[in-house]
Amino acid sequence: MTYYSRKKSDEGCEDVCGGQNPFFEEGYQRVALDHLLRSAGIEDDDLLIMSDVDEIPSRHTIDLLRWCEDIPPVLHLELRNYIYSFEFRKEHVSWRASVHRYVRGKTRYAHYRQTDVLLADSGWHCSFCFRYLSDFVFKMKAYSHADRVRFSRFLNPKRIQEKICEGADLYDMLPEEYTFREMIGRMGSIPHSYSGVNLPSYLVENAEEYKYLLPGNCMREQR
């Protein structure tokens, strides 16, 4: 189970952070989440999913976790990795999302590799999957990405739109690989996929509202 109060968390950070370094603020928010979980009434052995908002466990994964006994103390969720929409699937899977059997005084928020136990094909990670171009600009300028914006033209909405439709990197960065052969093999845009198989059922059921996430709908809105 996940318990989160945005109002409480924001108020707490406003009182303490006071314009500190963004990494400090994020660290405080994570500590605040630990406190909020306890105040919300989480109990030992409850299942706690730790994930970013763009890391989405599938419905069958949630059901499986509910039904199964003997869930490991920590379990990573292996997610299909997409960027911009479900038209551009990356080869590497995402593994940072995790499930914890809560232990009071021991379980803490973490978003890094904690075990080699992974549940395969558990859902989706859709990075930079925004409706509005302004949201792309905001994230590109955010603390964890700002050092990649080497030129002001990177933030030009027209350029961003072109990159989205091409499946190309917003920062013109080389792929992160271990060998030159792998890096060269992954250079360029991500291949388009127009398959509707294995997409989130909620997305398919509400296709008109979220059509910007579906293959073949790369144009983004201005706001």
User: Residue 201 in contact with residue 114, Cβ under 8 Å?
Assistant: no
pLDDT of residue 188: 62
User: Residue 133 in contact with residue 222, Cβ under 8 Å?
Assistant: yes
Q: Note the pTM of the prediction, 2 decimals.
A: 0.82
pLDDT of residue 19: 54
pLDDT digits (tens, 9 = 90+) for 117-145: 999 999 999 999 999 999 999 999 886 66
Instruction: Identify the H or E element spanning 12.
Output: helix 6-16
Low-confidence ranges of the chain (pLDDT < 50): 1-16
In whole angstroms, what is the distance from residue 64 CA to residue 68 CA?
6
- Beta-carbon contacts of 103 under 8 Å, excluding residues fewer than 6 positions away, are 44, 73
pLDDT of residue 23: 65
Instruction: Identify the H or E element spanning 100.
Output: strand 98-101
- Judged by phi (left if over 0) then psi (alpha if -120 to 50, else beta), residue 105 lies in left
- DSSP-derived letter for residue 152 is G
- DSSP-derived letter for residue 220 is -
